[in-house]
């Protein structure tokens, strides 16, 4: 239910309406990185979309600082996940994935969301350069008014995350209003 609320509330892309959340299944996310160190991805869900399997890769970023190379890091996680899926299934094609970054730090998120923005300019044609992009949800950029309008568990959590203790005490009625709907 939480993943559905996150996607419906914050991912305003047409494909979201095609997702069948009754088919949502959490996947095992332990895999071995090329460095041979174990890596635990945060959350990976499989969900059907128009009968086709897709993956929603949810990477929860709880650092207080911005990681300039997040696009590289997330691309690595997604490609390592794909490698594991390919090894397990032996398929010659892979299902699409949608990587989501949830950032809850205080600073404005300034890191590039596209891997290509990390590369120096070059005469190499862009068609031959790797491309990867993640979808960013920056909690500190969502207005409290919008969170109150959403009235779901995720918006309540983000409202609290976006508020100081004094803000919560001062706006207690708004938070109670959100939680009544949950």
For 137-170, how does the pLDDT look when each residue is reduced to its tens digit (9 = 90+)?
999 999 999 998 998 999 999 999 888 899 888 8
Q: Is the pLDDT of residue 87 over 70?
A: yes
pLDDT band at 60 (very low <50, low <70, confident <90, very high): low
Position with higher pLDDT, 56 vs 33: 56
Please give the average per-residue pLDDT across 93-105, as a whole number.
90
pLDDT band at 1 (very low <50, low <70, confident <90, very high): confident
Please give the average per-residue pLDDT across 76-97, as a whole number.
90
Least trusted range by pLDDT, from 41-45, 86-90, 121-125, 144-148: 41-45
Looking at residue 146, its pLDDT comes to 93
Cα Rg of the chain, angstroms: 18
Q: Is the pLDDT of residue 26 over 90?
A: no
Looking at residue 40, its pLDDT comes to 53
Please give the average per-residue pLDDT across 13-28, as a whole number.
90
Looking at residue 37, its pLDDT comes to 52
Percent of the chain at pLDDT exceeding 90: 51
Position with higher pLDDT, 65 vs 101: 101
Looking at residue 182, its pLDDT comes to 65
């Amino acid at each position: 239910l939480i993943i559905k609320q996150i996607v419906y509330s914050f991912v305003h892309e047409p494909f979201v309406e095609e997702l069948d959340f009754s088919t949502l299944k959490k996947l095992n996310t332990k895999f071995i990185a090329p460095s041979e160190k174990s890596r635990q991805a945060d959350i990976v869900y499989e969900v059907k979309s128009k009968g086709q399997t897709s993956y929603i890769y949810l990477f929860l970023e709880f650092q207080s600082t911005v990681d300039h190379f997040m696009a590289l890091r997330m691309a690595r996680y997604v490609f390592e996940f794909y490698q594991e899926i390919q090894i397990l299934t032996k398929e010659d094609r892979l299902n699409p994935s949608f990587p989501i970054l949830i950032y809850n730090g205080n600073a404005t998120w300034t890191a590039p969301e596209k891997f290509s923005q990390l590369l120096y300019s070059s005469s190499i044609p862009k068609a031959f350069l790797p491309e990867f992009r993640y979808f960013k949800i920056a909690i500190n950029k969502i207005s409290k008014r919008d969170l109150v309008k959403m009235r779901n568990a995720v918006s309540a959590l983000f409202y609290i995350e976006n508020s100081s203790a004094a803000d919560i005490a001062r706006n207690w009625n708004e938070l109670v209003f959100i939680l009544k709907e949950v």
